[in-house]
């Protein structure tokens, strides 16, 4: 299989793989969790396998945790830099979302948000990695936190990036607890 360019939705699929406590559920369930089609998830898993970010066999796909850690910390911010927009209603992200919101005070600045009609916060928009991120993250706290940490790396200041990097390394190295 020749490597092809990763898409932003592939990063979301990889983050979701890391958020599962046990084995990956059936592809149809994963697609539903991410609000993607089965073919989108299947293609993403193939691209991630070609990039050696997942181990794939006939029955399952497992994240290559050390490669995912390296890619998240050093690659995502260059491949998919944050795109800021205007002030909007949305869902908190980056330093304003868990887990960094417990460590960083936003001060008087408007917080970063993913534009989201059902969002409860007014802030400066940051385009999510993929359009389905706010809805998928709302249903999965582990995924939400990991994607918010990636936004801190993509858009944050030095302290935010440093804290996010430490947290991403920790999460990539250990499995989440079953819900």
DSSP string, 97-158: STTGGGT---TTSPPEEEE-TT--EEEEEE--SSTTHHHHHHH-HHHHHHHHHHHHHHH--H
Whether residue 85 is found in the same domain as residue 167 = yes
Taking alpha carbons only, the member of 35, 21, 1 closest to residue 9 is 35
Predicted local distance difference test score (pLDDT) of residue 83: 95
Mean pLDDT by 10 residues, the chain (179 residues): 80 94 83 97 96 86 93 97 97 97 87 96 98 97 97 93 96 72
Predicted local distance difference test score (pLDDT) of residue 179: 44
Q: For residue range 11-31, what is the model confidence (pLDDT) as tens digits?
A: 999 999 998 876 778 899 999
Whether residue 13 is found in the same domain as residue 74 = yes
Whether residue 37 is found in the same domain as residue 91 = no
Whole-model pTM? Answer: 0.93
Whether residue 143 is found in the same domain as residue 160 = yes
Q: Which residues contact 10 (CB under 8 A, 6 or more apart)?
A: 44, 47, 48
Contact, 48 vs 24, CB < 8 A?
Answer: no
Predicted local distance difference test score (pLDDT) of residue 74: 96
Range of the domain at 24: 8-78
Predicted local distance difference test score (pLDDT) of residue 59: 73
Whole-number Å distance between alpha carbons of 93 and 95:
6
The total domain count for the chain is: 2
Task: Find the CATH number of the domain harbouring 47.
Answer: 1.10.10.10
Last residue of a domain, one of 27, 46, 78: 78
Taking alpha carbons only, the member of 98, 176, 109 closest to residue 144 is 98
Whether residue 95 is found in the same domain as residue 74 = no
Domain membership of residue 179 (yes or no) is no
Whether residue 168 is found in the same domain as residue 84 = yes
Whole-number Å distance between alpha carbons of 154 and 72:
10
Whole-number Å distance between alpha carbons of 109 and 92:
13
Taking alpha carbons only, the member of 79, 92, 72 closest to residue 165 is 72
Predicted local distance difference test score (pLDDT) of residue 176: 67
């Amino acid at each position: 299989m020749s490597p092809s360019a990763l898409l932003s939705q592939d990063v979301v699929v990889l983050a979701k793989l890391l958020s599962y406590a046990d084995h990956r559920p059936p592809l149809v369930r994963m697609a539903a969790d991410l609000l993607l089609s089965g073919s989108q998830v299947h293609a993403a898993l193939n691209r991630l396998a070609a990039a050696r970010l997942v181990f794939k066999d006939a029955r399952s796909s497992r994240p290559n945790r050390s490669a995912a850690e390296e890619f998240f910390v050093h690659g995502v911010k260059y491949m998919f830099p944050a795109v800021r927009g205007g002030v909007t209603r949305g869902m908190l992200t980056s330093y304003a979302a868990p887990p960094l919101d417990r460590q960083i005070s936003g001060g008087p600045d408007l917080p970063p948000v993913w534009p989201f009609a059902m969002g409860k916060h007014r802030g400066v928009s940051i385009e999510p990695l993929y359009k389905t991120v706010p809805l998928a993250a709302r249903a999965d706290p582990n995924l939400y936190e990991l994607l918010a940490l990636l936004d801190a790396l993509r858009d944050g200041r030095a302290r935010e990036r440093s804290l996010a990097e430490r947290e991403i390394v920790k999460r990539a190295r250990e499995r989440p607890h079953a819900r």
